[in-house]
Structure 1
Amino acid sequence: MMNRTTIIKAGICSYGMSGKLFHAPFINAHPGFELSAIVERSKNESRERYPESKLVRAVDELFEDDSLQLIIVNTPVQTHFDYAKKALLKGKHVIVEKPFTVTSAQAQELTDLAHSQNVHLFVYQNRRYDGDFLAVKEVVQSKLIGDIKEAEIRYDRYRPEISPKVHKESDLPGAGISYDLGAHLADQALQLFGWPQAVFADMMAMRDKSPVDDYVEIILYYAAHRVRLKASCFVKEPVQEYIFNGSLGTFLQKRSDLQETMLLKGVKPSVESWCPAPDKPDGFLHTTVDGKDIREERTAVPGNYMNYFEDVYQALVNGAPNPVPGEDGVRSIRLIEAAKESAREGKVVKV
């Protein structure tokens, strides 16, 4: 770890689930950040765990606070563009939760604005730091199963009832599973395989009276392989969420990262490893190495979302690369838009 004598003062725009689990605990525990302000419009829940932070009643107050250097925009996706733009125009560095924005045009405008303001814009793609995804990434990059021929990435839930969260499950731009879980799927596919040649997608609302898609299947076309992305609200018994078949073999990996579970239990994260590994093997490899047939169970090394915040800190203080720049967010939203166009028109869309 590098120099942390510089302290970055941060403000969080919301203290809902995202703020409570994925942002406040990490900002508070990281030695290079100070959790300076938290927005709660009417409640006082943050006072119990973070009494030293300032309680703010309106998001706009964060933008006007000259002491804050970093703003975390973790409000509903429909507000991301407006809040991030205001923060950037005030010269603040900004972390924007996923989905990044409602449209790729908004995403591009924010990215361009951050460059013109000479500030950092980070997209919050924490699932890049899950242990299971890191295990898959290592297998792909090391070519342990040879050249990938086909891959499937799933992100499922069992949620047969429509959520009361209006911004996620009502007839609003950026709502639906294609944005909510699709933002993770698109980002991981692009991280592993880059930009595809074309997209074909099927989306529908399976739940009674659902105003938004709650099932999605997307096929990404590459020159020498295919990638399938799937998400559903009707998966009660999870299957293998990562199925990768290559020229030398197959790798199966379950979505097994325990960080969210630990955070829900109130476990405090740290810069050092703080989350246990899965209690039983969560991956299976069948491949050929030096002419030998290998079949083995594998257990992923625990991930750590603190590494995201460490990467953000190093970018801000020591000029390290942005871990998830706005350009990455633009590409993810463009991919979702292409998938929605494909599903709407029932055709392959070249991208």
Structure 2
Amino acid sequence: MIDVGLIGYGLAGASFHAPLIGAVPGLRLASVVTSRADAVARDWPEAKAVADAGALFGDPEIGLVVIATPDHLHAPLAKAALEAGKPVVIDKPFVTDPADGAALIALAEAKGLMLSAFHNRRWDADFLTARALVDAGTLGEIALAELRWDRFRPAIKPGWRETAGAGLLNDLGPHLLDQALQLFGMPEALTADLATQRAAATTEDYFELTLHYGTRRVIVSAATLLAAPRPRFALHGTGGSFVKYGIDPQEAVLRAGLPPTTPGFGEDAPEAYGTLTDADGVARAVPSERGDWRGYYEGVVAAITTGAAAPVPAGEALTVMRLIALARESAAGGRRVAV
């Protein structure tokens, strides 16, 4: 049994990490660093709430540290945990400065410790379905792929995520870029457009990145003023098109306070299935693969106990953050940049 120390008990820590940790064999939520001790006592009575992360680093019983804090704290907390000899999981974004990510990877390698980023969207129902179609060659040669994540949020949501230093590109960009890289590999170049569209916003709340792969174009985009969202996935190739609306259902279940063991967890409703249109124009619904974010933490257990590769290697997460840095360079200069 791996005793887990969780740092942060906001949305990510309380709704995502803690329930997943509690539902995966081989993991036990032992300590939570938070000011919300009452919430921890209510939700996880066997775990102890502590006020300082140093208590985790000095606890010999803690076999994994999970960091679910505001972005700017990821790198220093991960460094301290690794120096204390603890394997580490970092919520996305992995780091805000790629140089910090490279230093963390070097430290983890020197210590022989697992270091991974929580790119849980690799275990989404819609992504798994899209990947299955791409891998099977059902769509032929992909010419255009669009991965979009749209919201209608005219008012600024309280909290650090929508303040300067965070922003939509750091929030949703890691998920979308990671999925694009898993599907298509590294692009040759990218072009980015960032904007702050809401009057009260202090950082970007819209982005559209075009990844260039020869003649193929892959677009990853997110916006906050779309009452009628665009497709979450739209893949178009010589063999047909796959179009899928809606967001994977796992987040809604966990936000509602239900556990990952809830019947039907990760399963799309039939009305949410994507549509495959073949080269002859015949359309049919494609039943979604089952999503299951527990797969991420099952991979973490295997990495720590058997030496298997991390479910999301830190190097892959660092690549995503380097692409985000290039996107900011592209947007600032109004130009296409080589990758």
CA gap of 1:12–1:270, structure 2 versus 1, over 3 A, is same
**Residues 20-52 of structure 1: CA distance to partner in whole angstroms, max 9, x if unpaired?**
111111111222011110112254201112111
Letter matched to residue 79 of structure 1: L
Does residue 261 (structure 1) correspond to residue 252 (structure 2)? The answer is: yes
Aligned equivalent of 1:309, options 278, 281, 297: 297
- Deviation of residue 293 (structure 1)? 6.1
State whether residues 154 and 198 of structure 2, in contact with CA within 8 Å, keep that contact through their aligned partners in structure 1: yes
- Deviation of residue 279 (structure 1)? 4.2
**Residues 183-240 of structure 1: CA distance to partner in whole angstroms, max 9, x if unpaired?**
1111111111111111111111001132200010111111231111111011122221
Residue correspondences, number: 339
State whether residues 271 and 307 of structure 1, in contact with CA within 8 Å, keep that contact through their aligned partners in structure 2: no
- Deviation of residue 63 (structure 1)? 1.1
- Deviation of residue 282 (structure 1)? 2.2
- Deviation of residue 281 (structure 1)? 4.0
Equivalent pairs: percent with the same residue? 36
- State the TM-score, normalized to the length of structure 1: 0.93
Distance 2:246 2:97 in 1: 28
Aligned equivalent of 1:21, options 10, 15, 21: 15
- Deviation of residue 251 (structure 1)? 0.8
**Alignment-derived partner of residue 64 in structure 2:** 70
**Alignment-derived partner of residue 181 in structure 1:** 172
- Deviation of residue 272 (structure 1)? 9.0
Distance 2:189 2:317 in 1: 19
Aligned equivalent of 2:331, options 336, 343, 348: 343
**Alignment-derived partner of residue 278 in structure 2:** 287
Q: Supply the RMSD in Å over aligned alpha carbons.
A: 1.6
State whether residues 281 and 298 of structure 1, in contact with CA within 8 Å, keep that contact through their aligned partners in structure 2: no
Distance 1:272 1:329 in 2: 31
- State the TM-score, normalized to the length of structure 2: 0.96
- Deviation of residue 265 (structure 1)? 2.2
- Deviation of residue 255 (structure 1)? 3.3
**Residues 228-260 of structure 1: CA distance to partner in whole angstroms, max 9, x if unpaired?**
111101112222111111111111112342111
Show the 5 A alignment for 1:96-175: 96-166=90-160, 168-172=161-165, 175=166
Distance 1:139 1:327 in 2: 26
Q: Which shows bigger deviation, 270-279 or 203-212?
A: 270-279
State whether residues 203 and 216 of structure 1, in contact with CA within 8 Å, keep that contact through their aligned partners in structure 2: yes
- Deviation of residue 105 (structure 1)? 1.0
- Deviation of residue 146 (structure 1)? 0.3
Does residue 39 (structure 1) correspond to residue 27 (structure 2)? The answer is: no
User: Structure 1 segments of 4 or more deviating over 6 A?
Assistant: none
Distance 1:260 1:224 in 2: 35
**Alignment-derived partner of residue 308 in structure 2:** 320
**Residues 142-179 of structure 1: CA distance to partner in whole angstroms, max 9, x if unpaired?**
1101011111110111111122212x22222xx11111
